[in-house]
Structure 1
């Protein structure tokens, strides 16, 4: 379960850098990946965020990829490929963002 769930893209884009990195770290457990994505904000839409996430997954070293796979041990992963990792990461990003606009803050 992610700590940052349903935050919405606008709220994510407006977060302080450290909090955005933390939210993304929950998705993939890689500081380099999370920092790069957080620093590329604001994203105009979810597709732009997902595309950037894919590009940066491909840029990770093998040891970073191994750590990322270790972080998704509870997910259904059929093979240790970047394509499979991207599928899991996309699902986690959707969970982090929630519905369009996110959930209201209470």
Structure 2
């Protein structure tokens, strides 16, 4: 079994991982696996209730931050794909030579 994580150790690890992204002033510490309340500094209207253990495992940010990150990633991917694909106006001006053979009935 590992060493017990204290509130001071948790705050140190959280600061190393997330910098000043969160407000930890409302934490009521019980244990590393008991939920605590904290706030995202970019979106402080909603309180986040999470265990310190899970918090240190996340990517960082509240659900609003994570949504913004997903939207930005999707927009980058769509822009990349549209840059790779020729536009429809380029396709309209291409002439294609095709021979069409109609079957004859006997």
**TM-score normalised to structure 1 length:** 0.27
**TM-score normalised to structure 2 length:** 0.27
Rg comparison, structure with higher value: 2
- Structure scoring higher RCO (CA < 8 A, sep ≥ 6) equals 1
Q: Which has the higher helix share?
A: 1
